[in-house]
Amino acid sequence: MKRLFPCGVFLGMLLAAPVPAMANSLLSSGGYLALVAEKNPELAASASRVESLYRLVEAVTGSTRPRLGLVASSGRILREGEGESTLSLSLGKRLDLSGLDALRIRQAELAAEVQEARHAEFAASLMREAETAYWNAAAGKSTVALYASLLAQRQEDLRIARLRFEQGTAARLDVFRAEVQVEKTRAAKTEAEAALRDALSLMARLAGGEAVEPSEIPVRFETTLSADLEAAWKARPDARRAALEREAAAVATRIAALGMNPVLEASLASTLLSDSSTVVPPESDLLFSLRMEVPLYDGGQTRAEKQSRKILETAAEQDERALRVKVAMELEQASSRLEKAQALEISRRKEVDLASEELRITRLRYRTGVGSQLELLDAQVREQAARTAYMDALREMAVARAQLSYALGLSTLPKAEAGSRPSGKE
C-alpha cells in the first residue's frame, strides 16, 4: 500500500509541538484586526482629523447665517463735559446673490469628505499590514514548532547513533555527524525564535502596544476573489478620494469665478437706549438699510485665480485617470501572486509527503543496519527543506489573499468602527 505523509498530520504536529512561552493573548485573525482598529493610535489620530473638518463645515455654515448683536457707544467732549451714549440692537445678513454661500459650504463638506476618504485609505492600508503581520507571525510560530519537532527527531537519531556505536555497529564518525545535525537544527530553531519575536513585536506595535500572538496557523484555503476592476473602483477609498478631489477642484474654480460679483448686505437696527435727540434711528423706530458693493477692477486677481484653479481641476482629472491605471496594475499583480502561491502550495505539499516518506524509510533502514548514515542525513536535509518550504507557501497564500483583498477594496475596518461617522457631520 502506498504510504505518504499526510499534511493534516504535519499541521497537527506543529500545533502539538512546544513553542517558547510568551504570555501573550491569543487572538484569531479577525480578533487581531478588530484590536488594531480599536487600539492603533495613528488610526485614532486620523479619525480625529476627520471629525475636526466636519466641525469646520458647521463653522462655514454658521458664517452664512444672520448676525445679531448689541452695539454700545459713548462719547464726551472733555472741556465742556457734554456728550451722548447709545445702546442699539443690530441684525445683519449678507445676501447671497450668486450662490457663493452654497459653494463655500460644499467646499468645506468636500474637504471633510476627502479627509474621510484618506482616513479610509489609511485604514485599508493598516488592515493589510496588520493581516500580513498576523500571518507572518503565525508562520513564524509554526516554524518554531517545526524546528522544535525536528530537533526532537535529530536528538533521537543521535541517541540511536550512540547506541549503535556502543554496540560496535556504527563508527564514531556517525555519532559526530548526528551531533552536527542536532546543533544545526538547534541553531535554526534559535533563529526562528528570534524572527518570531520580531514578528510579534510588529503585531504589538500595530495594536497600540498590546502583547498578542496568533491563535491560528496558515492553512490552505479556497477563495472566490477575482480581479474585477469595476468592483474594485467602486469599493476602494482612494478611488472615492480621487473623485472627491476632482469635484473639490471644480467647486474651487466656480468660487474663483465669482470674485467680481456684487456683494449686497442688509441690516435692521433699533435704538434701545440713548440720551441724544438726534440718534438714528430714534428709540421708537427701526432702521432698515441695504449696502451694495460692485467691484469694477481687481488688478486681474479673479482672472488669474480662475485660471490657476482650472489648471488644478485638470490635474485632479489626470490624477484620477492615473489612479485607475494603478488600481488595474495592483489587481493584476495581486491576482497573479495568489495564483502562484496556490500552485506552489500544491507542489510543496507533495514534496512534504514524499520527503517525509523517504525519511521514514531511510531512518528504518539505518536503524536496522541496512542503510548508511549519509543516506539518513541527506533525507533529513531534504525533509527539513520541504517542510519549511511548505510552511512558507502557506504563509505566502495568506499574504497574497490579504494583498488581493486590499486591491479589491475589501480591507476595511470592522463594521463597528467603519459605521461610526464623525458627529460633526450630523
Burial degree of 363 (CB within 10 A; 0-12, 13-18, 19+) = buried
Q: Is 80 helix (H, G, I), strand (E, B) or coil?
A: coil
Identify each DSSP E strand in 57-126 by its residue range.
67-77, 82-95
- pLDDT digit string (tens) for 36-93? 999 999 999 999 999 999 999 999 999 889 999 998 888 777 666 667 888 888 999 8
State the average pLDDT over residues 165-181: 87
Q: Tell me the sheet residues that pair with 263.
A: 293
- Residue 169's identity, in one-letter code, is T
* Domain 7-65+98-261+299-425: assigned CATH number: 1.20.1600.10
Identify whether the C-beta of residue 396 lies closer than 8 Å to the C-beta of residue 351. Answer: no
Identify whether the C-beta of residue 165 lies closer than 8 Å to the C-beta of residue 148. Answer: no
In the chain, what's the furthest Cα-to-Cα distance? 132
| pTM (2 d.p.) | 0.81
Task: Give the integer Cα–Cα distance in Å for 298 and 418.
Answer: 47
Task: Give the integer Cα–Cα distance in Å for 315 and 312.
Answer: 5
Q: What is the mean pLDDT of the chain?
A: 87
Question: What is the C-alpha end-to-end distance of the chain, expressed in Å?
Answer: 71
Task: Give the start-to-end residue ranges of the domains of the chain.
Answer: 7-65+98-261+299-425
Check whether 98 has a pLDDT greater than 70: yes
User: What does DSSP assign to residue 64?
Assistant: T
Q: Provide CB contacts within 8 A for 38, sequence distance 6+.
A: 417
- What pLDDT does 127 receive? 94
Identify whether the C-beta of residue 82 lies closer than 8 Å to the C-beta of residue 76. Answer: yes
- pLDDT digit string (tens) for 188-239? 999 999 999 999 999 999 999 999 999 998 888 888 888 889 999 999 999 9
C-alpha cell at 223: 477563495
Task: Give the integer Cα–Cα distance in Å for 158 and 38.
Answer: 50
**What single string gives the DSSP state of each residue in 292-319?**
EE-----TTHHHHHHHHHHHHHHHHHHH
Q: In what order do the strands lie in the sheet with 286-293?
A: 67-77, 82-95, 263-274, 286-293
**What single string gives the DSSP state of each residue in 243-290?**
HHHHHHHHHHHHHHHTTTS-EEEEEEEEEEEES-TT-SS-TT-EEEEE
- What pLDDT does 372 receive? 81
- pLDDT digit string (tens) for 411-423? 877 654 444 444 4
397 vs 43, 220, 345, 378, 385, CA distance in Å?
27, 7, 8, 29, 18
